[in-house]
């Protein structure tokens, strides 16, 4: 589902001493079925931006158009928007509120008015997708889980809604590496199979490099760069100046180039491996 | 060096709301030396946070003992001194924020310790500067972004000047430069001020900077050693849900390909040296 953001400005606590312009005239278009990586320094406005996508925040000015419908217009159904655009919050604690893991994941589907069997199926399926054991955890309180387990439950709750646009705010923060790879792998699979439009906010340059079609870079409430991962990560200096970085292998290749070892730019371990083998075998 | 933290055969069971027992620590023993920088790794639910909470008497062992500077955590009279010795930065900064203004939040710890007002002022300014948040001193912490909140909670513990800092995933929400700054801060506190550091993290590139790495799995410490020793065991780490830095992974793959490169390369700098040597 295509998403269009037009001249979006958001001012928190307008007309108080805490007034803060978190988004400053942001315009961008996300194509149907695109996988977007949203990166930016802390406080750059990423969470503020994506909370507009399911109408959790209202713009101070500007419009958000999802599948042709202006969701900032009066009278639009919030329920329908939230069914279409699934948002996984930065802090899973903000998303968990039921007594058991089952109830928590079932909450969204229940609101959709689905049958008991369908809800059951979706809960099982979603918990499996995030690598949690249904039988062992369904009756456990989400508040008695470890940090990473809570996050998985929060992601499962959103997946259970089967949204058309999936927005994830640092979904892998606090996950162990295996969990991170598994969950990102699932998201990619859903994206490919169901043509799901995905917006992934992340501070991991490695994950972004491996996953997304296009990167949007934010700094101080503005979009400062948008391009393919390869083109974005070629600009190491620009990224460093705004608090970001490049994947470790990209950094390695840059350092090698400085030493006169000429190999092509790389953004993944696979690429770097191939390039280095070629280089080392070249004489 | 003497141990600042000594945990012996610690077992910990949570009693859940429906009276089930969950064994989160299953006979863990650890000696942390004064001035040491220890990184704790492990899959989600492996018991890292539970162990950390034993180090400042937030949790008491169901079996076994924990001593902080010789003080038994089970003895309530010690709790105050223990918390002063071992300061904790929690996994979720929201749980740590107590005041409505950033600088008051940072001042909260030292105030509780009875530190003099002008000394508090100095510590608060220093701590905020260390984490790069001096411009936000008068702001409301609840309205800060995720990463900004995390910096405030680190400043709060810094201002208490503890001998030992336990940081539970302090960089989980930070941008790359924020992560680097926090790691630099931690290392400086460790090297220059001799503060003992226990860092829980899921970032392998942070763990490589420690003196010692401890790997937890299902309530047990299953591996430990220098970063070079631990990260050279890629297969074992992967089998317990962990990973290695990209350059370490790259070396392992090159090694398998028959290229003469060591398996314990942990940083970009080391790898550049190795590759220059090969040609
Ligand atoms: N509820 C709020 N009230 C006032 N200001 C806010 C509020 N939420 C965020 N801000 C401010 O708006 C700016 C953007 O915040 P936002 O949470 O969107 O950043 P972010 O890019 O998601 O950062 P992070 O990577 O740390 O999560 C920050 O300077 C923050 O302090
Ligand atoms: N309050 C609680 N009540 C019951 N069980 C709990 C509670 N807190 C944690 N547990 C359980 O104890 C085990 C260890 O949890 P702990 O939080 O120590 O893990 P962790 O290694 O810190 O994980 P993470 O990387 O996800 O933060 C887990 O199985 C968890 O479900
Ligand atoms: Mg955010
Ligand atoms: Mg934890």
- Domain boundary assignment for chain A: 1-76+164-229, 95-162
**Does domain A1-76+164-229 fall into CATH 3.40.1390.20?**
no
Quick check: B94 and A93 CB within 8 A? yes
Q: Is the pLDDT of residue A71 over 70?
A: yes
Q: Does residue A244 have a pLDDT over 90?
A: yes
pLDDT value at residue B132: 83
Measured from the CB, is residue B190 less than 6 Å from ligand 2? no
Residue A74 touches chain B, beta carbons under 8 Å: no
Residues of chain B with pLDDT under 50: none
Ligand 1 within 6 A of A40 CB? yes
What percentage of chain A exceeds 90 in pLDDT?
75
Atom of ligand 2 minimally distant from the CA of A148: 26
- What is the arithmetic mean of pLDDT over A81-88? 91
Q: Is the pLDDT assigned to residue A114 strictly greater than 60?
A: yes
pLDDT for B1 equals 53
Contact B176 A177 (CB under 8 A): no
Residue A147 near ligand 2, beta carbon < 6 Å: yes
Q: Which residues from chain B sit within 8 angstroms of residue A41, using beta carbons?
A: 147, 175, 177-178
The mean pLDDT of A233-261, rounded to a whole number, is 95
Residue A107 has pLDDT above 80, yes or no: yes
The pLDDT value given to residue A283: 64
Residue from B47, B141, B45, B155 nearest B94 by CA: B141
CB proximity A278 to B under 8 Å = no
CB A53 within 8 A of CB A167: yes
Does ligand 1 have an atom closer than 6 angstroms to the CB of A46? yes
Residue A223, pLDDT > 80, answer: yes
Q: What are phi and psi of A70, to 5 degrees?
A: -80, 105
Q: Which of the two residues, A193 and B234, has the higher pLDDT score? A: B234
Query: What is the reported pTM?
Result: 0.92
Q: CB distance from A256 to chain B under 8 Å?
A: yes
Q: Do B147 and A178 touch (CB under 8 A)?
A: no
Nearest CB to B49 within list A146, A206, A273: A146
Q: Does pLDDT of A24 surpass 90?
A: yes
Lowest mean pLDDT segment, chosen from A173-182, A267-276, B194-203, B219-228? A173-182
């Amino acid at each position: 589902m295509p998403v269009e953001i037009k001249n979006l400005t958001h001012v928190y606590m307008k007309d108080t001493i805490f007034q803060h312009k978190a988004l400053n005239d942001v315009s961008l278009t996300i194509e149907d079925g695109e996988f977007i990586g949203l990166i930016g320094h802390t406080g750059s406005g990423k969470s503020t931006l994506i909370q507009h996508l399911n109408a959790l925040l209202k713009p101070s000015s500007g419009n958000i158009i999802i599948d042709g419908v202006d969701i900032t217009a009066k009278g639009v159904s919030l329920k329908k928007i939230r069914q279409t655009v699934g948002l996984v919050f930065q802090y899973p604690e903000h998303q968990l509120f039921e007594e058991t893991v089952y109830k928590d994941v079932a909450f969204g589907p229940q609101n959709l008015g689905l049958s008991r069997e369908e809800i059951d199926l979706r809960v099982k399926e979603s918990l499996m997708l995030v690598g949690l054991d249904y039988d062992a955890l369904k009756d456990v309180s989400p508040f008695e889980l470890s940090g990473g387990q809570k996050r998985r439950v929060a992601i499962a709750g959103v997946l259970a809604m089967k949204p058309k646009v999936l927005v994830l705010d640092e979904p892998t923060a606090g996950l162990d590496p295996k969990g991170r790879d598994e969950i990102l792998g699932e998201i990619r699979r859903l994206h490919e199979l169901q043509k799901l439009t995905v917006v992934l906010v992340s501070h991991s340059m490695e994950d972004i490099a491996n996953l997304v079609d296009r990167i949007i870079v934010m700094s101080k409430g503005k979009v400062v760069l948008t391009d393919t991962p390869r083109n974005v990560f070629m600009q190491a200096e620009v990224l460093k100046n705004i608090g970001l970085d490049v994947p470790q292998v990209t950094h390695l290749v840059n350092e090698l180039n400085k030493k006169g070892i000429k190999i092509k730019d790389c953004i993944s371990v696979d690429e770097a491996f191939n390039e280095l083998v070629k280089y080392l075998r070249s004489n | 060096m003497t141990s600042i933290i000594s945990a012996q055969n610690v077992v910990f069971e949570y009693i859940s709301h429906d009276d089930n027992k969950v064994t989160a620590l299953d006979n863990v023993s650890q000696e942390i030396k004064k001035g040491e920088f220890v990184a704790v790794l492990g899959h989600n639910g492996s018991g890292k946070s539970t162990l950390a909470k034993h180090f400042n008497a937030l949790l008491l062992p169901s079996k076994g003992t924990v001593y902080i500077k010789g003080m038994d955590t089970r003895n309530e009279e010690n709790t105050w001194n223990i918390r002063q010795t071992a300061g904790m930065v929690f996994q979720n900064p929201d749980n740590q924020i107590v005041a409505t203004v950033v600088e008051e939040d940072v001042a909260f710890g030292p105030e509780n310790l009875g530190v003099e007002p002008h000394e508090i002022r100095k510590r608060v300014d220093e701590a905020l500067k260390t984490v790069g948040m001096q411009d936000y001193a008068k702001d409301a912490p609840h309205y800060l972004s995720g990463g900004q909140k995390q910096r405030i909670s680190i400043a709060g513990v810094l201002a208490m000047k503890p001998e030992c800092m336990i940081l539970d995933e302090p960089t989980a929400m930070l941008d790359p430069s924020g992560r680097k700054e926090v790691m630099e801060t931690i290392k400086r506190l460790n090297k220059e001020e001799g503060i003992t550091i226990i860092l829980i993290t899921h970032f392998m590139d942070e763990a490589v900077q420690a003196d010692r790495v401890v790997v937890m799995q299902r309530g047990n410490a299953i591996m430990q050693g220098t970063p070079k020793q631990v990260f050279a065991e890629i297969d074992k780490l992967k089998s317990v849900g962990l990973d290695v830095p990209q350059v370490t992974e790259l070396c392992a793959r090159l090694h398998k390909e028959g290229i003469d490169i060591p398996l314990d390369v942990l940083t970009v700098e080391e790898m550049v040296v190795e590759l220059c040597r090969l040609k």
